[in-house]
Amino acid sequence: MDRISGGIQKLIYNLIYASIIFSLMYLLGLVIGLELNIFIQVIIIFIGSILVKFFLLNPLILYALLAVSILGAVLVHRFISPFLFTVGDRIFFLFDNIIGNLQGKENIASDNMLLFWGILLILISIFTAFILFKMKKIYLLLPLYIGSFIIYWYNFYDAAYWMISLFLVLFLTLMGLDKFYKVRITVKNPIHYEIEDFYSPWLKTVTTYGIIIVSIAMLLPKSNSYIQWPWLQETIYSIYPDIVKLRSQDGTERESESASLFSFSMTGYQGSKGKLGGPVVLSDKKIMTIHADSNHYLRGNVKHRYMGNHWEALTGSLENHPLGYNFSGITEFEMENYYHETQISITNHSFASTTIFSPYRAVEVYSNDDHVLNVSYDNTLYFPNGVYDREKYFVRVQKPLPYGILASRNLQLKKDSILDLGKYLQVPEDKITLRTKELTRELVKDKKTDLNKATAIESYLRNNYEYNLNVSEVPDDREFIDYFLFDEQEGYCTYFATAMSIMLRLEGIPTRYIEGYLTQETEEPGIYEVRQKNAHAWVEAFIEPVGWMTFEPTPVYPIQSRLENFLPITVENEDSISSEIDNDIREPRPGFEDMLADDSLDGDDAATYNENDDLTAELQKNITNVLLIIVLLIIPIKFLIGLFKHIYHEHRAKKLTNNKRIIYLYKQICRLLGFLSYSQVHGETHHEYADRIAYKFFTHNVKGIQEITDIFVRSKYGNASGSDEDVLDLMIYRKTLEKRLRAQWRPIIFYYRKYVRKGYMEV
């Protein structure tokens, strides 16, 4: 009877243990996007959790299996198929993807989804089994499970509501069983349980946790409304900024139906009323992941009418188009001669908007969802039913070629052809001050063309005003541009873009004030992320004879190449320059195995074999084994030598003067740029080199190659001593290039070439 009772108890405990794990694993599968049938999930979770428990309670068996597996893998790799390199590379890709996901930089790749879920299953099973069967203190399960359920429920995973209910039922049952089996059995009647010993702990447990359940149910919000308590909100936000994503605020899931047009006020760059200027605090919240071939200006909205302290949009009528429809009106001849086609995909993260973000000039939009596309005259795009969290769309773009190429191809576009030209030339005459007009006239007085005028104003703003987020509020009685140009003399993108837009209009050049985002490349090439702090405002001006062009008056951002002095020589030359504008086509990098392979024998020699000469065959086998051992030993030894040499050179560099250290770091930077296929051309000055590649190596909040080159030139050829800050800037830029190169080559190849082969450290 005792054996039967013990067996039933063990079975019940195992079922509850596996079911508790299922309650959390099912929810985590939803979070990472796992597409696996629920019945298959139940089977995998049950088998996996029981195996984890078994090995946790029998570690010697686990150690023996691991030892046998490792030995078997080594033997198979050596004598049958060398698969360990492939396995190692696959494991590294998995964990690199997981780390990137935990850092919020990328989603879990589809190939890694099931493996990642399996790792989570093992970790959660170890934790749960250890608590239940080792420590036997089941209340320690509450922080992980209850905390996870509440967090995910607040992030609009409604399945968490049912999973927390399942968990609490299982937990209370487990508590009751735990008390039940501790009841003393009387000697006279083994079947009779003492009423007091049984019911007292059971009632106490049910009462205590019943109160907890009811309290949680009462405290959880039942709608999108939240308590209006500014002090509490600010205090919590300062500790936990991600609180803005919780259910107590408007959600970003489609069920919340909260999508609206993009507004700069949601980025932190301006107040809700749209007034320009004042200090800003930007959010690091990630909102989009972009797959593209290069950095892009993502247009969110276009503003037309300037009112002295804010901008207004005059959208006009919108055209309705189905998905996949080419609404550009661009002819095939124009596509071939005036544009370069590119495509981007955008995935939202905890972000909902009816605005479709795209570079200029979008021509087609695709999505897996059912949408109707609205398009404005200014090529701004909208989905009326919105794009929500984890939803994706694709945009095909015809990007205009640079000014120099378009002018050389005799493109003739006139501003008189612009529909409703007046709204692009609007200036509030009663608000723009006389000294703003005089400054504008002074800047362009010797300029003959619209492009010369635009670049003169752009250069003036970039070179004479400072970028600063912590500026003072604009007085109510002051016009925004006048206050910026002559009093504040510093600001952020809205200051620079507003000033340039109106100054160009004063000279009869049509402009559009654009608000949107700049893409920020991650460590993996071709993948860009957008955070709220990447919001930006810039200028589009209609420059005859080529049409709308992007201008960047904000000094911390690089200017896109315009090739003003472009001279067409050959078709091949034009194609190569056009290719460089958007993205270089990188040569495939050699694989790890290719770099390790030594020169082998020719085919004839390798095939020569004397069947009767066993001694020769044995000797060849021994030589092969010796060579294999030498190779396996040499690579780690060379790696360690390279690592220590790197540490030694870095230690010596720290003892150099700042000027010499800057020269040392700049040489390494140039070598890294060379590895990235952007070497300095013979006869090219340092500044020419930096100007040519600047737009390819831009990173937000990191000094670009042009500023780095200025520091180097001052240190090498000037009399001033370099500062510690200058050294730090070069070290940060070197680290940024290292990350980009590591992502391009893959980490194994990167570290092999850095430490085993001659890298870039010894200069």
Task: State whether residue 728 is helix, strand or coil.
Answer: helix
Distance CA 258, CA 744 (A): 39
pLDDT at 628: 56
Distance CA 666, CA 103 (A): 30
| pLDDT at residue 183 is higher than 70 | no
Residues 585-589, mean pLDDT to the nearest whole number: 36
Distance CA 488, CA 478 (A): 12
Q: Of 169-183, 327-341, 512-526, give the lowest mean pLDDT range.
A: 169-183
Q: Of 13-22, 296-305, 354-363, give the lowest mean pLDDT range.
A: 13-22
**Higher per-residue confidence, 318 vs 266:** 318
pLDDT at 560: 85
As a whole number, the mean pLDDT across the chain is 79
| pLDDT at residue 188 is higher than 70 | no
pLDDT at 321: 93
Distance CA 453, CA 503 (A): 10
Please compute Rg for the chain using Cα positions.
33
pLDDT at 411: 92
Task: List the one residue out of 127, 138, 101, 161 whose CA is nearest residue 529.
Answer: 101
In percent, the amount of the chain with pLDDT more than 70 equals 76
**pLDDT per position as a tens digit, 141-177:** 888 888 888 777 766 566 777 788 788 878 877 776 6
Specify whether the CB–CB gap between 306 and 377 falls below 8 A: no
Residues 109-127, mean pLDDT to the nearest whole number: 87
Distance CA 66, CA 295 (A): 47
Region label for 50, one of left (φ > 0), alpha (ψ between -120 and 50) or beta (otherwise) = alpha
Distance CA 497, CA 513 (A): 7
Distance CA 331, CA 405 (A): 18
| pLDDT at residue 242 is higher than 80 | no
Residues 212-218, mean pLDDT to the nearest whole number: 57
Task: State whether residue 755 is helix, strand or coil.
Answer: helix
Specify whether the CB–CB gap between 518 and 295 falls below 8 A: yes
pLDDT at 603: 40
Residues 6+ apart with CB under 8 A from 84: 73, 74, 77
Residues 6+ apart with CB under 8 A from 101: 107, 108, 116
Residues 730-743, mean pLDDT to the nearest whole number: 87
Distance CA 398, CA 219 (A): 52
User: What residue has token string 């860009």?
Assistant: 528
| pLDDT at residue 393 is higher than 80 | yes
**pLDDT per position as a tens digit, 671-680:** 888 888 888 8
Cα–Cα distance list, 31 to 19, 108, 147, 157, 179 (Å): 19, 10, 15, 8, 35
pLDDT at 220: 54
DSSP summary character for residue 341? E
| pLDDT at residue 549 is higher than 70 | yes
Across the strands, what pairs with 319? 375
pTM: 0.54
**pLDDT per position as a tens digit, 422-432:** 999 999 999 99
